[in-house]
A and B are shown apart, each in its own frame.
Chain A
């Protein structure tokens, strides 16, 4: 019969129309500013720099190796390396970035910088409400704005942060043991336990 297909289709739309009153599954939109979706752990927006301890300038993990700057696909990272060195979390002398800028108007949230970083110093943030009325200056984040504590990292990516911490603790213990070993041989007496993290 001509028109049967249309009627069948209309029955389908009717089912959906009335179904939307009973089935929450059919309503996928969320009225955003008032209601919010649960944050997703894997979400990535823009990168930030992790620091250990309480002072970001002392505890920044970044050693200004500039790998992320080279690998960044849209080239939105700008780093200036320090002339002097200062001790890092385990007391090893390291360079540090005197300038670390990320132009988030260029950044494409790809996470390549996180993957190439050998020091777990740069991670992905979840903040997305970054609207600003200063189109030029407001979207370039400097190292002060980028620095976030390890606790913050634990707050947004708990699984990843736990993994990173376990790995770093192991690495630091290993390097501390290595640094302590020759001294122990010479001195012939037990070494003090390696300095704990933080």
Chain B
């Protein structure tokens, strides 16, 4: 099988202007991946499937990964002028100071595809795409028109991560019910506190459930006057 660099070169030769980037995987299995530009992803996917040498005709696994916004604090050396009193005279002195800068690395959602070849019996080739951010630019092109095995798996990503796949034939929730809000696999998902009463060894769960019930009862009383008898 071609190495990841050769595949990248082949893609760039076949699909002009395709933004392909190699993502190195440091683990011992060394399954490196290619990050595709969403705009040209569909053309690249078609090439990967139809190219006689690669013939990646089997899309095995599709999954999403959530990368939330990260706050990174780093030490930077900064040169700045400070007013200082040297030998009794006030002067402007240049001086390097350590400064801790905080910046927020914007998060994104990522879709990862594992491709194999049934004809050539090789693989995996891993391709990934990133959305613009996690809130309003969450669209990616669907690769289901190229490989149908993405149909349910992309629906699952849409359901659990909230990536909207453009061009998917039937994009709706698959595991959660249709009017469910939010996406449970995101890392900042807050689980509901309305557990059914289940006293466990963990009092935290019980306390949470009781607080929820109290709030719900208070709300019901306020609205109806009579309140829910329970």
Contacts and interface: CB of A to CB of B under 8 A. Distances in A.
Interface of A: 75-78, 101-103, 106, 136-137, 140
A102 B199 contact: no
Interface in B185-202: 199-202
A103 B200 CA distance: 6
A76 B201 contact: yes
B202 A136 contact: no
A136 B201 contact: no
A102 B203 CA distance: 13
Interface of B: 199-203
Nearest to B199: A136
A77 B201 CA distance: 6
A77 to B, nearest CB: 7
A143 to B, nearest CB: 12
A107 B224 CA distance: 41
Nearest to A103: B201
Secondary structure of the B contact surface, majority rule: loop
Contact of A76 (B199, B200, B203): B200
16 contacts: A75-B200, A76-B200, A76-B201, A77-B201, A78-B201, A78-B202, A78-B203, A101-B201, A102-B201, A103-B200, A103-B201, A106-B200, A106-B201, A136-B199, A137-B199, A140-B199
B159 to A, nearest CB: 24
A62 B203 CA distance: 22
Secondary structure of the A contact surface, majority rule: strand
Chain A CB within 10 Å, residue with most, of B199, B200, B201, B203: B201
Contacts of A106: 200-201
6 tightest Cβ-Cβ pairs between the two chains A and B: A78-B201, A101-B201, A103-B201, A103-B200, A136-B199, A106-B200
A111 to B, nearest CB: 18
Contacts of B202: 75, 78
A76 B203 CA distance: 11
Nearest to A72: B201
Nearest to A74: B200
Nearest to B200: A103
A67 to B, nearest CB: 16
Contacts of B201: 76-78, 101-103, 106, 140
A163 B201 CA distance: 32
Contacts of A136: 199
A101 B202 CA distance: 9
A149 to B, nearest CB: 24
A125 to B, nearest CB: 17
A103 B201 CA distance: 6
A97 to B, nearest CB: 12
A46 to B, nearest CB: 13
A137 B199 CA distance: 8
